[in-house]
Amino acid sequence: MNTPRLVAAQPQAPFAPDSATGGDFIQLRGVCKAYGEQLVVMDNMDLDMRADDRLVIIGPSGSGKSSLLRVLMGLEGIQGGSIAFQGKPYISGGQRRGKPLDESLRTQIGMVFQHYTLFPHLSVLGNLILAPCKVHGLSRAAATEKARAYLARLGLESKLHAYPSQLSGGQKQRVAIARALMLEPKLMLFDEVTSALDPEMVIEVQNVMLQLAEQKMAMIIVTHDMHFARHIATRVVFCANGRVVEQGPPEQIFSQPREARTREFLEKVVHLD
């Protein structure tokens, strides 16, 4: 493993759009993150995203994909570099752990995890309205109406009063997505949301994500499902050793990867065209 670079090189123009991708929605510049002294998971990482992008992050196990999403969600800090969101400074290195610079920007990001994170003691309705009532100060009646609308959109209206233990895995994940959408995020992060599901439930959750894609939701998706990645991505980003090794449209990455490291990874997980 590399030695952590705790102080990132200062970029010349921190929030200028990247010339290669034109991304000014999310911009990572020289981001460094390490666990302890030795384990570098983001090594001076640069990454850009446009508001109409659906980025799919792929890479070997342990390459820092989940860490990247947790950082963007404000759940973990970074040691160096900076991140801008919607053109505004959002997170910078050295801030107190889990304290992004701008809390109002953080609330515009929703995240769904691999393992359902619904509150088991609350009904589906309770799970959906908790944050909108507490964080956004929505009345219970207004939040309930909104919850009904989202559940109907996701085919779950009959589950309003069910408890998480009464739902299938796919239903739980769809409720988790609905719960994140209740806060009207501008960006959704998905961390291997289907990898613990049975195949038929994978499809129902992926269909919800495709529905969001049709509505032009900005998304960053971590998945090991290369077929789905190819289908949903506007851009695929291959990460290894804390860096972006290669990125491009799915057709290019999956059919003609430029980097040997990408090819080697893809040969292990998919049959190249």
Ligand X SMILES: Nc1ncnc2c1ncn2[C@@H]1O[C@H](COP(=O)(O)OP(=O)(O)OP(=O)(O)O)[C@@H](O)[C@H]1O
- Residue ranges of alpha helices (H) inside 103-259 are 103-106, 124-134, 140-153, 169-181, 199-214, 226-232, 250-255
Partner whose footprint covers residue 162, from ligand X, Mg ion, none (CB < 5 to 8 Å by kind) = none
d(CA 55, CA 64): 15
d(CA 105, CA 186): 9
Is residue 194 part of the contact set for ligand X (CB under 6 A)? no
Q: Enter the DSSP assignment of 197.
A: S
Partner whose footprint covers residue 47, from Mg ion, ligand X, none (CB < 5 to 8 Å by kind) = none
Q: Enter the DSSP assignment of 15.
A: T
Partner whose footprint covers residue 262, from Mg ion, ligand X, none (CB < 5 to 8 Å by kind) = none
Which residue is at the shortest CB distance from Mg ion? 66
The dihedrals phi and psi of 154, each to the nearest 5 degrees, come to -100, 10
Least separation in angstroms between CB 242 and Mg ion = 14
With respect to Mg ion, which residue has the nearer C-beta, 55 or 147? 55
d(CA 36, CA 43): 14
Q: Which residues 5-44 are close enough to bind ligand X by CB under 6 A?
A: 35, 39, 41
Is 61 in contact with 67 (CB distance < 8 Å)? Answer: no
With respect to ligand X, which residue has the nearer C-beta, 35 or 119? 35
Is residue 2 part of the contact set for ligand X (CB under 6 A)? no
Q: Which residue has the tokens 């691999």?
A: 114
Report, in this order, helix, strand and coil percent for the chain, each rounded to 5: 35, 25, 40
Least separation in angstroms between CB 189 and Mg ion = 12
The dihedrals phi and psi of 247, each to the nearest 5 degrees, come to -145, 155
Partner whose footprint covers residue 35, from ligand X, Mg ion, none (CB < 5 to 8 Å by kind) = ligand X
Residues touching ligand X, count (CB under 6 A): 11
Least separation in angstroms between CB 241 and ligand X = 11
Is residue 66 part of the contact set for Mg ion (CB under 5 A)? yes
With respect to ligand X, which residue has the nearer C-beta, 67 or 173? 67
Residues touching Mg ion, count (CB under 5 A): 1
Q: Which residues 50-69 are close enough to bind ligand X by CB under 6 A?
A: 59, 61-67
- Beta strands 80-85 and 88-92: pairing type? antiparallel
Positions that interact with Mg ion (CB under 5 A): 66
Positions that interact with ligand X (CB under 6 A): 35, 39, 41, 59, 61-67
